[in-house]
């Protein structure tokens, strides 16, 4: 269901592509969603909640791509995201299974040695979604940003560029809090931590393969790979109708500058996450201890404290939803229910009661005795005669 909207707009490209104003709206909604959800994922402590807001952010990327006219890039990111985000969600399930149902990353840490398959595959997924070359996320995300820049949507590119760095940061925050540093697992649970069974780890391995190679297989060379050839008949008429011609990808031009710039930002964001939340990859000679005191200091620093509080409270959208739909909506529903029960049902029931009561009283006239009916006829005739005489006298 979360992918249905992206597919709908892409499939209806002949309609959307001919209304530039609507395309701007699609791009604006998409890129706003991307940065809003990324800002919330920054401070969440539930491992699945981080990934959930990450999904919203990446869907925002896809909508922004559709809005700027980078149709194939949107579908490309939809495909690549499906693999590495599926890997990350299943990996988070494996982590939760290992720590006996715990989802709070503040109560994890040091799990890399104990669940190595889950750790390795989730690291691959994190690198992929961060947009590190040559994994799948790099190719699809780079095409989205490149399409926004070259099609004149510089504001979409600028916000998307920032979101790329944010994504890399919060994903390696997740990795640091979950797998690196000292264990913060409850001692009772720590003794029972074990790698998940093959029924859970095999899908992780299978999803890690396309997370690594999908971009190279169907997205390389950039903007002219297999996927672009497959989808060309679907989008070429809309692109031509928009008055644009597809400029060939050139690494030694603006495309290369954009790719290098984004990759540099991603690398800086990853290093910042390592500095704050730690990293331990002996094979690469990387070992940095987490600095929780520094994280706490930054979160309490003047100017950042309100931002941190807003992010951790999801910018109060839950409170707004509760106010609008639970409190006010509940009162409105109660008022409508009272009106329906008292006024509408009361009117209908009242008419029925009056009719029934009148019928019950009127039926008493029907006695079944001839003399009563004769008396009634006589009274009626007398009344008619008196009325006639009164009219005649006048």
Which has the minimum average pLDDT: 25-29, 33-37, 70-74, 281-285? 281-285
What is the mean pLDDT of the segment spanning 201-207? 95
Q: How many CA atoms lie within 13 A of 367 on its CB side?
A: 9
| Arithmetic mean of pLDDT over the chain | 90
Name the residue range of residue 387's domain. 320-393
Among 312, 344, 375, the domain boundary falls at: 312
Among 312, 334, 369, the domain boundary falls at: 312
Residues 199 and 144 occupy one common structural domain: yes
> Does residue 1 have a pLDDT over 80?
no
Residues 261 and 361 occupy one common structural domain: no
> Does residue 307 have a pLDDT over 80?
yes
Total domains in the fold of the chain: 2
267 pLDDT band, cuts 50/70/90, is: very high
> Does residue 67 have a pLDDT over 80?
yes
Q: What is the pLDDT of residue 375?
A: 85
Residues 388 and 267 occupy one common structural domain: no
* H-assigned helices in 152-253: 154-179, 187-190, 198-218, 226-241
Residues 249 and 119 occupy one common structural domain: yes
CA of residue 235 relative to chain centroid, distance: 26
Residues 222 and 354 occupy one common structural domain: no
pTM of the model: 0.83
Q: Are 43 and 276 spatial neighbours (Cβ–Cβ below 8 Å)?
A: no
Residues 350 and 305 occupy one common structural domain: no
Residue 332: which H helix or E strand, with range?
helix 329-338
Residues 40 and 80 occupy one common structural domain: yes
pLDDT tens column, 214-243: 989 998 888 788 998 899 899 888 887 776
Residues 307 and 324 occupy one common structural domain: no
338 pLDDT band, cuts 50/70/90, is: very high
> Does residue 244 have a pLDDT over 80?
no
Residues 331 and 275 occupy one common structural domain: no
Q: What is the pLDDT of residue 245?
A: 57
Residues 80 and 146 occupy one common structural domain: yes
Among 312, 335, 356, the domain boundary falls at: 312
Q: What is the pLDDT of residue 247?
A: 64
CA-based end-to-end distance of the chain:
85
pLDDT tens column, 176-197: 999 998 888 888 888 888 899 9
3-state secondary structure of 103: coil
Q: What is the pLDDT of residue 243?
A: 65
What is the mean pLDDT of the segment spanning 4-27? 91
Q: What is the pLDDT of residue 237?
A: 85
Helix H, strand E, coil C: the string for 20-66 is HHHHHHHHHHHHHHHHHHHHHHCCCCEHHHHHHHHHHHHHHHHHHHH
């Amino acid at each position: 269901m979360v992918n249905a909207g992206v597919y709908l707009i892409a499939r209806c490209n002949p309609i959307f592509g001919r209304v530039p104003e609507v395309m701007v709206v699609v791009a604006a909604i998409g890129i706003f969603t991307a940065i809003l959800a990324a800002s919330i994922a920054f401070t969440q402590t539930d491992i699945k909640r981080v990934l959930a807001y990450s999904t919203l952010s990446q869907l925002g990327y896809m909508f922004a791509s559709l809005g700027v006219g980078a149709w194939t890039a949107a579908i490309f990111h939809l495909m690549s995201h499906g693999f590495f985000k599926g890997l990350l969600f299943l990996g988070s399930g494996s982590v939760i299974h290992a720590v006996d149902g715990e989802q709070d990353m503040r109560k994890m840490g040091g799990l890399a040695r104990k669940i190595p398959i889950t750790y390795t595959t989730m690291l691959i997924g994190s690198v992929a979604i961060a947009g590190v070359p040559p994994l799948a996320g790099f190719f699809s995300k780079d095409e989205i940003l490149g399409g926004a820049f070259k099609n004149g949507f510089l504001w979409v590119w600028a916000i998307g560029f920032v979101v790329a760095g944010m994504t890399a940061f919060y994903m390696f925050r997740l990795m640091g809090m979950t797998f690196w540093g000292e264990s913060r697992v409850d001692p009772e649970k720590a003794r029972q931590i074990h790698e998940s069974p093959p029924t859970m780890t095999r899908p992780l391995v299978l999803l890690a393969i396309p997370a690594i190679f999908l971009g190279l297989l169907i997205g390389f060379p950039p903007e002219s790979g297999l996927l672009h050839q497959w989808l060309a008949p679907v989008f070429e008429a809309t692109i031509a109708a928009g008055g644009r011609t597809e400029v060939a990808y050139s690494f030694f031009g603006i495309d290369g500058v954009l790719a290098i710039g984004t990759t540099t930002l991603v690398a800086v964001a990853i290093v910042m996450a390592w500095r704050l939340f730690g990293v331990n990859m002996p094979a690469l000679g990387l070992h940095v201890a987490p600095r929780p005191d520094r994280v706490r200091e930054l979160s309490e620093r003047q100017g950042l404290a309100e931002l941190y509080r807003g992010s951790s409270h999801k910018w109060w959208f839950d409170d707004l939803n509760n106010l609008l739909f639970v409190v006010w909506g509940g009162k409105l529903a109660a008022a409508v229910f009272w009106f329906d029960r008292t006024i509408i049902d009361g009117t209908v029931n009242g008419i029925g009661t009056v009719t029934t009561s009148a019928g019950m009283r009127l039926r008493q006239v029907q006695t079944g005795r001839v003399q009563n009916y004769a008396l009634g006829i006589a009274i009626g005739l007398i009344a008619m005669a008196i009325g006639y005489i009164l009219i005649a006298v006048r």
